[in-house]
Homo-oligomer: A and B are copies of this chain.
Amino acid sequence: MSLKTPKGTTDLNPDDALVYEDLIDRTKNIFKLHGAVPIDTPVFELKSILLNKYGEDTKLIYDLKNNGGEECALRYDLTVPFSRYMSMNKLKKIKRYQIGKVYRRDQPSVVQGRWREFLQADFDIAGESLPMMADSELVCCMNRLLKTYNIGDFVIRVSDKRILYGIFEVCEIPNNLFATVSSSIDKLDKMAVNDINKELKLKGLTDKQIINLNIYIQKSGTVDVLDFLRENDVYKKCSEAVDDLCKLYEYCKIMKCSDHLIIDLSLARGLDYYTGMIIEGKYLNKNIGSVAGGGRYDNLIGSLENSSYTNTYNVPCAGFSIGLSRIFSCIQKPKVNTNVKVFISASGKLFLEERLKIQSILWEANISLETFYNKRNNPGEHKKYCVKHGIKYLIVVKEEQYNKGFVTVIEVNTNLENVIMIDNLPSHLQ
């Protein structure tokens, strides 16, 4: 029998799990600040719901073995299950968050922080919205999150699927190549331009198409990129999208979240369902890819509609995911990470029943504690344990003191010793 976790998955030891708990709490608090409510969906979905959503990556979906029931598969992201939830309940609007693990049967890479099971935190605004109002809130919320993790400087790159398609049209790239050209371009932040161009050539683009494309996709900046687009042929193809991005930038300035914002025409996002603004967040000077990504997907919820219904139900939607597993890999882990306040030791004898009694009193007073379970009662060792784990107080049960109703309390940092009446322990330790 092989004692390991499945390929591409990992355990969290207590130190790591505590860092994750803190990461999840901080993320949740910001989602709640933005007025979002939680939902939860199963870890697996009917396979039919996941098909035709993820482009070339559909092959990465994990199927469950079918023992004569429904065809099911592990969720690939939290966006499609959320859309299924909306459509199933015919909801018109919601601002929701969801934090959960997702599954991709990809080639794992520890260096690049790519796992087959990883934790995502999703934030989505569904429902009719004034142009760019929800979209700019995504920037604002992502900006607040990337700041709160305290990992270093970051950028938030935005573009718009409609602009990308406008560029493709102007470069005379045939429609049937849009998806595959998008996915090549999307690699620009991790691959050299020359290599991208070689890939595009292999995919059937002419030199002229590639040269034209390069004029656009290397443009990134702020208002200058918008000015460039306005003065260019492409503007006729996607004027609304360009004006929208302009508005987005303006709203972000009002909400004081434009400092890290970059308009980047190389941004492409691989998934099939985006229809408008697209967004990615990335820490600078970190050897991992983007840690957050999303965009507007105005047709996904409607497309899930059962064909037996009239086709009028649809909800415009925009959102993003934070890759918490990637954030985790960038975080400086704290050395001492304990929730425990007290360790109960004993001198000479085991004093089991006495320790049980003290435990019970402290627990009743909501004071977290540890004690020893085996026969090795060594207050010296226990003190070292307290120092190592950041436990503040060491209680030592001693026979003579105990018989009079007292125990010794040592403040670990200062070595200060006090003899305290047992009944007064809660007030002394609080």
Asked if A144 and B363 make an inter-chain contact with CB atoms under 8 angstroms apart, the answer reads yes
Determine whether A162 belongs to the interface, using a CB cutoff of 8 Å to chain B. no
Asked if A140 and B38 make an inter-chain contact with CB atoms under 8 angstroms apart, the answer reads no
Partner pick for A373 among B127, B305, B370, CB 8 A cutoff? B127
| Chain copies in complex | 2
What is the 8 Å Cβ interface bit string for chain A, positions 266-284, against chain B (1 contact, 0 not)? 0000000000000000000
Min CB distance A94 to B, Å, is 7
Given contacts A129-B373, A360-B254, contact A340 B35 (CB under 8 A): yes
CB nearest to A362 among chain B residues: B33
What is the 8 Å Cβ interface bit string for chain A, positions 398-412, against chain B (1 contact, 0 not)? 000000000000000
What is the 8 Å Cβ interface bit string for chain A, positions 164-196, against chain B (1 contact, 0 not)? 000000000000000000000000000000000
Determine whether A224 belongs to the interface, using a CB cutoff of 8 Å to chain B. no
What is the 8 Å Cβ interface bit string for chain A, positions 11-46, against chain B (1 contact, 0 not)? 111101110110000000000111101111111111
Asked if B6 and A42 make an inter-chain contact with CB atoms under 8 angstroms apart, the answer reads yes
A67-75, A206-214, A225-233, A288-296 - the one binding chain B: A67-75
CB nearest to A130 among chain B residues: B352
Bound together, the chains give a CA A191 to CA B41 distance in angstroms of 34
Partner pick for A3 among B34, B88, B140, CB 8 A cutoff? B88
- Report the interface size class on chain A: 35 or more
Bound together, the chains give a CA A428 to CA B14 distance in angstroms of 41
Partner pick for A368 among B7, B10, B35, B136, CB 8 A cutoff? B35
Partner pick for A43 among B21, B33, B101, B133, CB 8 A cutoff? B101
Asked if A9 and B44 make an inter-chain contact with CB atoms under 8 angstroms apart, the answer reads yes
Asked if B21 and A38 make an inter-chain contact with CB atoms under 8 angstroms apart, the answer reads yes
Asked if A360 and B95 make an inter-chain contact with CB atoms under 8 angstroms apart, the answer reads no
A58-66, A215-223, A236-244, A413-421 - the one binding chain B: A58-66
Determine whether A381 belongs to the interface, using a CB cutoff of 8 Å to chain B. no
Determine whether A357 belongs to the interface, using a CB cutoff of 8 Å to chain B. yes
Residues of B within 8 Å of A64, CB to CB, are 62-65, 74
Residues of B within 8 Å of A5, CB to CB, are 41-42, 45-46, 88
Given contacts A2-B46, A64-B62, contact A70 B7 (CB under 8 A): yes
Question: Other CB < 8 Å A-B pairs besides A7-B69, A18-B37, A255-B357, 17 of them?
Answer: A3-B88, A3-B305, A5-B45, A6-B44, A6-B45, A13-B89, A32-B339, A34-B368, A35-B340, A35-B368, A35-B370, A63-B67, A65-B66, A127-B374, A129-B373, A134-B373, A254-B357
Chosen A-B contacts, 6 in total, with CB atoms closer than 8 Å, are A1-B48, A5-B46, A10-B42, A11-B39, A65-B65, A128-B373
